[in-house]
Structure 1
Amino acid sequence: MKVLVVDDDPQIVRALRLTLRSVGYEVETAVDGQEAIRMAATIRPDIVMLDLGMPAVDGIDVIAALRGWSEVPILVVSGRTGSADKVEALDAGADDYVTKPFEIDELLARLRALGRRRGGVDAAPVLRVGDAEIDLGAKAVARGGERVRLTPTEWRILEQLARAEGRLVTRAELLTELWGTAEVRDTGYLRIYISQLRKKLEPRPAAPKHILTEAGMGYRLVTGP
């Protein structure tokens, strides 16, 4: 069984990787919420083990994003011990909740119980944006039945917006995804790429209804007709 471990603490990740592999699990890891969502859509884990206090995208938002297309069992492993945190995670779609520090025997028992469900990520999401379809699994866009050709940079921007569907993606997040740092001096290239995406996807690029600008903050992708 394949377990996706999502935690930004390298010591915990290392310990879980060694422990889980020693009892026969295949282990993949992610260090932030954005990476977790991308990996869940591509590697199709049998179980997701998730910390809540994640950089980039909070654990609750990761749960909500996964539940948009997947029934994969989600085990929250978090240092947040309050009942309100547990209720919020379970209401968002988590299947079980273990607090840190945890006993490894209990953790393995919880994993075995969730493993019997073996929901997995059945399919990566396909989003409809007007008359266009964005297939995140195939990394492809079609419009009116015809393939839309995107540059690698255009795809990376669109994919990040699609993964956050409906939520704001800040300029800093987009710049970090594209160039590895939010400190890159933006000379208008990001706006140019957004304009190109609108020309390829929006019915009326001059009056966009799907790729929206949030002034001074960033962009969001709104799906639907």
Structure 2
Amino acid sequence: MKRIIVCILVGITFFACKDEEQGKRIPKKENQAEYFEKNKLNVPKKGALKSLTATQKKLVQDWLEFKTVHESMKLINNTTRFSITEDLGQLAANIEEVDKKKFPKELDVMQIRSRFLVLKTKALKLQDDATDESISNDFIEQEIVEMNNVFHSVCYQVEQATLLNMEPEEILGDLFKSDSTEVEKIDRKTAPIPKRNMVPTKRSTKRFKKTKTENN
């Protein structure tokens, strides 16, 4: 009888502890969600990372290292306070890889290399700042905006450097051909009609002879 009573008490205690543990887990999950939301970084729309233009995409389509840096920038623009230090470290490592690898011939210019270096420096500085709890999320968000501006500058210099060494049809392909055809049609319509060369006629220098009228 005593054994039965002891077993019942043990069972009641076990289920009571289990219910209490579940009760503790629910608010813990809620607090975790709130904590994540609180530490989510929201980059201002005006300073958000812009998409590559059609021309820029075509120019870097075979440049793998550039694409890797671009993906890292996308990740940083959608990160949280928890993971930003790791994401920034990865970005810096990817930029180092860009510097180690051979640049595409047309893009191996100082304007592009220097801007990649600036981007790497900003990433490492922000990585250090993000570990400081006294640094606000607003500050980090503004620094991400600055990094976006530097990356946009890299993209602009990529386009400018290539334009100096490529014909328009090499960059735009079929788009250029269709546009140039339309321009040619317009030029034909608006072109002035050429004047015909008129051969001047010679005036006769002979004088007409006067004829005498006969009297009837």
Q: TM-score, normalised by structure 1?
A: 0.25
Q: TM-score, normalised by structure 2?
A: 0.25
Higher relative contact order (CA 8 A, sep 6+): 2
Query: Larger strand proportion, structure 1 or 2?
Result: 1
